[in-house]
Amino acid sequence: MQFKKKVLIVNEAGFHIRAALLIVKESEKFKSDIKVRNKDIEADGKSIMGLLTLGAGLGAEIEIKADGPDAKEAIARLSKVISDRFGEEK
């Protein structure tokens, strides 16, 4: 199964280290292959360095793709983490 969704980065600091780590930790809970894309760079959702390379700041529109048995759940979970500002206040 393959799913994808576009999500807007809404926290002020964007994909900084703690945010990337949160994505990696959530991604690792799923069996599916997870990719995160910002413009023309695509990173592995399970790699911190990859996610940091994206340089996705406030206002960036990123695309999450999941491929595998739990793809739908993975997309739902990850997009929620991002729209919840990674639990950050602003």
Partner 1 sequence: MNFITVKEFYNDNKSKFHMRSLSGEEYLSKKKIIVSDINRPGLALAGFFDYFPYERIQVFGKTEFTYIKKLGREKANRVLDKIFSENICCCIITRNLKPPFNFLSAAKKHKIPVLLTSLFTTKFISAAMIYLEKKLAPKITIHGTFVDVYGIGVLIIGKSGIGKSEISLELIKRGHRLVADDLIEVTKLSDDALEGRGMSIIQHHMEIRGVGIIDIRNLFGVGAVRDDQKVELVMHLEEWEKGKDYERLGIEEIYEDIIGVKIPKIILPVRPGRNLSVIIEVAAMTQRLKSRGYNPAKELNKNIIKWMKKENKEKMDVPDK
Name the residues that contact partner 1, by CB under 8 A: 17, 41-44, 46-50, 52-53, 55
Strands lying side by side in the sheet with 2-8:
2-8, 61-67, 33-38, 41-44
Under 8 Å between Cβ of 19 and 86: yes
User: Phi and psi dihedrals of 34, rounded to 5?
Assistant: -120, 130
Nearer to partner 1, 22 or 90 (CB): 22
Q: Does the annotation count 16 as an active-site position?
A: yes
Evaluate whether 43 touches 90 at the Cβ level (below 8 Å): no
Q: How far is the CB of 48 from partner 1 (least distance, A)?
A: 5
Lookup: tokens for 34: 């997870």
Catalytic residue among 16, 37, 72, 77: 16
Block residue for tokens 């069996």: 31
Tell me how far, at minimum, the Cβ of 27 lies from partner 1, in Å: 11
The least CB distance from residue 23 to partner 1, in Å, is 13
Considering the complex, state which of residue 59 and residue 90 has its C-beta at the smaller distance from partner 1: 59
| Choice between 58 and 84, CB closer to partner 1 | 58
Cite the active site residues. Answer: 16
